[in-house]
Chains A and B, each alone.
Chain A
Amino acid sequence: MSNLTLVEILLTIFQSGVLVFIIANTVPLVHGSKSYFLPFFFALSMASCLLSNFYWIAYDILRPDSRMPIACNEIGECAMILLLSAGLDSVLKDKKIAIGEVVFAILFTCANIAAWIAWSGEWFQDILFGIPYAYFIWLLIRGLKSRGCLTRKELWFSSVTAVFVLVMQIPLLIVKGSLFEFTKIVFFVVIFAMMGWFGIKSFLSKDFFVASAFFLWTELAMFLTSGVFYYIVFAANVLVLPLLFISMKKELADDLC
């Protein structure tokens, strides 16, 4: 077992601990609140993530350093995204369908799926398990826009940066030598700067949609990075979970007011 796999196992165990804490604190909210949809879906989503983690840990220990083919944990991850979407949907009041937002969500998801396929060559699962992201992204855009969590400029900035990071995949796959190294540095600077920005925004606003956008960004960044950078993004992904929980609780408190 390589050192990187060991780091991954330790991080996954840590994330599982965080998830257990979050689930244990979310379940009482399901019974105790009037708007039980959000905590119900949130708890189920975290449970899916937790079981998926257990699967990863078992896989990493039993088959270290081997690439996992299509497996059950991917259904867990897909379910997690769908359940979070259902939670977001339950608190989203303005569900107006704007063509531009829908098209952006679909195109952005398709571009991501294309990048995953180019990297892994796994057509079937990348397409199948990528589809829920389109719905998740649309909900995020709608929520961020209608609730005024981000200004118009900030929304444009985040959209353009997300597209830029994806476009950067093309030279990363094609070019070699010093140009490749330069592109790689720019790529990681943008990814981590955006992550920091989303982190600060979600910490300050404690809004469920901003925290979900931060979560989505770390998820997508995990798919696009490898090696040490992957583990840094993974650590950020673990940190998002308490933020998601806090913002979900705030959402419930606001709903009661």
Chain B
Amino acid sequence: MIYAENVLFCIAVPFAISLLFTKGSARRFISSFLMGMIICILSAYITGFLKSFSGFNTEDASIFLSPMIEECMKLLSILCYVYVLELSDENIQLSAVGVGVGFATFENCCFILLSGVPQFTYVMVRGASVGVMHIVTLVALAKGMQLLKAYKACSLAGIVGVWSLSVTVHGLYNLLVSKPGVSSYIGYVMPMIGAIILYLINCKSED
């Protein structure tokens, strides 16, 4: 059995060392990537604890609990970037993408190592759906926070509102892919559509 902590250590150390030799945006991206992996493992710990505390089975915990916990942890990282580090809009988005990629990479690594060698098509679908979904929700969170800042509406209601959007999208994805058939296909396509929409919004706001 390979422990998730060992996987984290194995992937994180080279990245941590690379921080010594990088500067600017590259360093910011790598540190966010590391942050994403740490958030992923912390979310797994909390979900595991709440699962045993609430008595949910594994499927129910992944459908109902993990979206809330994971999105909550992601929101905390974004709040840290916005309020503690007070980054510019451009850097908030860069950091959000880094956290998303780190989260998705670590989750996918653990999944592949734990489930042996699954079918190539399944691995592809997983990479293009759940991997993208973490980036989409984080970019959406970052965009939402930027919007709140732009409209000077950074209140509790605004933050909870933005968070609720990412939680519901994540929860909807987990719910749809939990059953085989048409619903799972819709679920698998959803993150990619979200990514395209966010990309178009990004292009428009840059113009």
Contacts and interface: CB of A to CB of B under 8 A. Distances in A.
B101 to A, nearest CB: 23
B49 interface: no
Contacts of A54: 168, 172
A52 B65 CA distance: 16
A48 B153 CA distance: 17
Contacts of A75: 68, 160, 163-164, 167-168
Contact of A72 (B157, B160, B167): B167
Nearest to B168: A51
Contacts, number: 93
A37 B165 CA distance: 18
A186 interface: no
Given A69-B60, A72-B170, A62 B160 contact: no
B205 to A, nearest CB: 13
B158 interface: yes
B153 A76 contact: no
A122 to B, nearest CB: 11
B36 interface: no
Contact of B158 (A36, A47, A62, A86): A86
Contacts of A80: 164
B25 interface: no
A203 interface: no
A40 B151 contact: yes
A72 B172 contact: yes
A83 B161 contact: yes
Contact of B68 (A45, A51, A72, A82): A72
A55 B169 CA distance: 8
B64 interface: yes
B52 to A, nearest CB: 15
Interface in A70-126: 70-73, 75-76, 78-80, 82-83, 85-86
Contact of A41 (B158, B164, B170, B171): B158
A48 B68 CA distance: 15
B165 A82 contact: no
B1 interface: no
Given A58-B175, A62-B183, A76 B167 contact: yes
Interface string B164-204: 11011111100110110001000000000000000000000
B171 A83 contact: no
A59 interface: yes
Contact of B172 (A41, A47, A51, A70): A51
Contacts of A41: 153, 157-158, 161
Given A79-B160, A82-B161, A72 B151 contact: no
B15 interface: no
A50 to B, nearest CB: 9
Nearest to A54: B172
Contacts of B161: 41, 44-45, 48, 79, 82-83, 86
Interface of B: 56, 60, 63-65, 67-68, 151, 153, 155-158, 160-165, 167-172, 175-176, 178-179, 183
13 contacts: A45-B161, A51-B169, A52-B168, A58-B175, A58-B183, A59-B175, A72-B168, A73-B168, A75-B164, A78-B160, A82-B161, A83-B161, A86-B155
